[in-house]
Amino acid sequence: MDYNLSEWLNLIVRWFHVFAGILWVGQTFLFTWMDRTLNREESIWMVHSGGFYVVERQNVPEALPQTLHWFRWEAALTWLSGMALLIIVYYLGGLMETQALGGISISVLVGFVLLAVAWVLYELLWQSPLARSESAGAVVSFILLVGVIFGLTRVMTGRAAYMLVG
């Protein structure tokens, strides 16, 4: 990839990723605060940019409105821009160069397969009987994470391995 194009893509996608992450974290703080505040029976009033908002929590609504706003784009854009950064910086930028697996293409394949397999294993782990004990599930998750990190650092550069793990 052309160096100038790579640098500009890196810069644009990185700042987009940072901005999307800030939106996601801010939204998470807002909903965490609302979950704590809205446990009481009364609703809360908020003011923002000249408008007043009344928020009421319903665990099981009697009827859903025709238009329901989902707060999914902040997380989705953070994830997608993170994947774009992974591709631009590591896969296309040469930061995964290693000869342990026979070159960059094998390392890229290992990275993508690992992301898919780790997601499936995580879901299976937390749907298994082990999930009844949160501390036992956390210990098993930690042991698996350490194993993945150990394995990745044997086949990739350290920076690429830790970036892939997250």
57-95 pLDDT, tens digit each: 777 888 888 887 788 899 999 999 998 988 888 777 766
Q: pTM for this structure?
A: 0.68
Say which residue, 88 or 122, is predicted with more confidence: 122
What is the overall mean pLDDT for the chain? 84
Q: C-alpha angle with apex 75: 113 to 5, nearest 5 degrees?
A: 70
Q: Are 148 and 154 in contact (CB under 8 A)?
A: no
Name residues whose C-beta falls within 8 Å of residue 98's C-beta, 6 or more positions apart in sequence. Answer: 104, 107, 155, 156, 157, 160
**Tens of pLDDT along 47-64?**
988 899 888 777 788 888
| pLDDT range class, residue 96, cuts 50, 70, 90 | low
